[in-house]
Chain A
Amino acid sequence: MFHSKKHVAHDFELNLTPIIDCFVTLICFLLLSTTYVNLVGLDAKVPISVPASSAKADNEPKFKLELVVKANAIELDASGAGPASGRKTISNVAGKPDFVGLHAALVKIKNERPKEFSLYFTSQVEMDYELLVRFMDTTRNLDAKDGVFAFTDERNGHTVKVDTLFPDFVLANLAAQTAK
């Protein structure tokens, strides 16, 4: 059989039809099976008494932030927050909780105690779950216009930037029920 050393240009056709079929089928399958709703989680806590930490906490200036939802207002009671301490009543606007006023009040408290993250929530009125999540959102989120909060970590001297308000949302109504 004769083999020519001369290069001969051969045209050949690569049959791409099956691979395109595969791609189209895969993409259709993925499009149908993908969910476009971005589910995330919001942490909620119930208070649990920890004796070991309670003894240590007695020696430190106690900070406690309580949020009480009443029929006509939101009551914010902060202790151990310097000038921002005390009870503040934020009246409802048009029959609904004033989330803007609440956020502003929380920012003032955060400015005094950037190391604190816990907020105890109590409601004296019935509300739906959506409103509860709205309260969780308001007490957690820090806007860019609120400024930058930071504190120095005593263990290593590093400056820690804080990008949330009070994310540890504690459902205080359950306190007496869950404490054993």
Chain B
Amino acid sequence: MRAGILGKKARRGEQDFYLQITSLIDTLVIILVFMLMTIGSGSVNLEMASNIKLPWSTQGADLTQGLKLVARMDGVSLEQEAIVPMKDGVIAHNLTSEDGKKVTVLFQKMLTKAQESRKAADKTGVKFEGKVLVQADKAVPLKTIKQLLYTAARAGYNDFKFAVVRQ
């Protein structure tokens, strides 16, 4: 077998020439295998939320499954559903309760999710771990982060994982 492609015959000399593509195919196969392995190695396929700048970190563990909570500068969303509007990363006081610590609407949604997860856990026998994956813009104030964590903790989610970009 010749690993080549028959080229056009030279008009004058009528000679065949072969384009050697063995090395090209080798390269393509290596790239393909590398990319397939890269895609398959992640434990959780977490897409970076749009309009968000995550902070950098030098360390961090692989992400695990959990409720996805995204805090942008203009609002909070839970599992890709917009829940609470924000202005410059701050939640309006009338959307909170318990002296501004708890975000009311978010609490209701998370409580419902927790109840659903617990029911599903009872059926399947898998323990409800109460994990939350937090994707927050790096400019969001700490006060807002604390409000979100407090709300999540009150709803039964006590295990937080902050998504960051590894340097």
Docked-complex contact B141 and A128, CB < 8 angstroms: yes
Residues of B within 8 A of A (CB): 1-3, 5-6, 21, 24-25, 28-29, 31-32, 35-36, 38-39, 46-48, 54-64, 71, 98, 101, 133, 136-143, 145-146, 149-150, 153-154, 158-166
- A126-B143, A137-B57 given as contacts; is B153 within 8 A of A23 (CB)? no
In the complex the two chains form, is B63's CB within 8 Å of A39's CB?
Answer: yes
Q: Is the CB of A132 within 8 A of B60?
A: no
A35 with B149: CB separation less than 8 A: no
How many Å lie between the Cα of A46 and that of B146 in the bound state?
A: 10
The reply to whether B160 and A45 form a contact with Cβ atoms under 8 Å apart is yes
Contacts of A43 in B (CB 8 A): 61, 159-162
Of chain B, the residue at the smallest CB distance from A178 is B153
What class of interface size applies to chain A in its complex with B? Answer: 35 or more
Write out, one digit per residue, whether chain A residues 138-157 have a CB within 8 A of any chain B CB (1) or not (0): 00110000000000000000
Nearest residue (CB) in B for A23 is B28
Residue contact B58 to A141, C-beta cutoff 8 Å: yes
Find out whether the CB atom of A130 lies under 8 angstroms from the CB atom of B62: no
Encode contact with B along A1-35: 1 for CB under 8 Å, 0 otherwise: 00000000001111011011001101100110111
Q: Which residue of B lies closest to A11 (CB)?
A: B2
Q: Report the minimal beta-carbon distance from A38 to chain B, rounded to whole angstroms.
A: 4
Q: Which of A55-63, A75-83, A109-117, A169-177 contacts B (4 or more CB under 8 A)?
A: A169-177
* A20 and B166 within 8 A (CB): no
Q: Are B54 and A39 in contact (CB under 8 A)?
A: yes
The CA of A32 and the CA of B128, in the complex, are separated in Å by 36
Closest CB in chain B relative to A157 CB, distance in Å: 28
Min CB gap B146→A, angstroms: 6
The 8 Å CB contact of B141, one of A38, A46, A127, A174, is A127
Q: Which residue of B lies closest to A40 (CB)?
A: B60
- A30-B35 contact, Cβ under 8 Å, with A14-B3, A39-B46, A178-B154: yes
The answer to whether the Cβ of A41 comes within 8 Å of any Cβ in the partner chain is yes
Would you give the shortest CB distance from A131 to chain B, in whole angstroms? 8
Cross-chain contact A41 with B162 (CB below 8 angstroms): yes
Residues of A contacting B154 in the complex (Cβ-Cβ under 8 angstroms): 177-178
- Which chain A residue lies CB-closest to B47? A35
Q: Which residue of A lies closest to B152 (CB)?
A: A46
In contact, B5 and A16 (Cβ under 8 angstroms)? yes
Chain A, residue nearest B153 (CB): A178
The 9 closest A-B pairs by CB, nearest first: A40-B60, A130-B138, A41-B161, A23-B28, A133-B55, A30-B35, A130-B55, A44-B160, A38-B166
What's the minimum C-beta distance from A110 to chain B, rounded to whole angstroms? 16
Contact present for A41 and B146 (CB under 8 Å): no
Contacts of A17 in B (CB 8 A): 5
Q: Which of B47, B140, B165 contacts A38 (CB 8 A)?
A: B165
Tell me which residues across on chain A come within 8 A of B141, comparing CB atoms: 126-129
A residues in contact with B38, CB < 8 Å? 34
A136 contacts the other chain (CB 8 A): yes
Residues of B within 8 A of A26 (CB): 32
- A136: chain B residues within 8 A (beta carbon): 57, 162
Q: Is the CB of A129 within 8 A of B153?
A: no
Give 12 A-B contacts (CB < 8 Å), ordered by A residue.
Answer: A13-B6, A41-B60, A43-B159, A43-B162, A126-B143, A130-B139, A132-B145, A136-B57, A174-B146, A174-B150, A177-B150, A177-B154
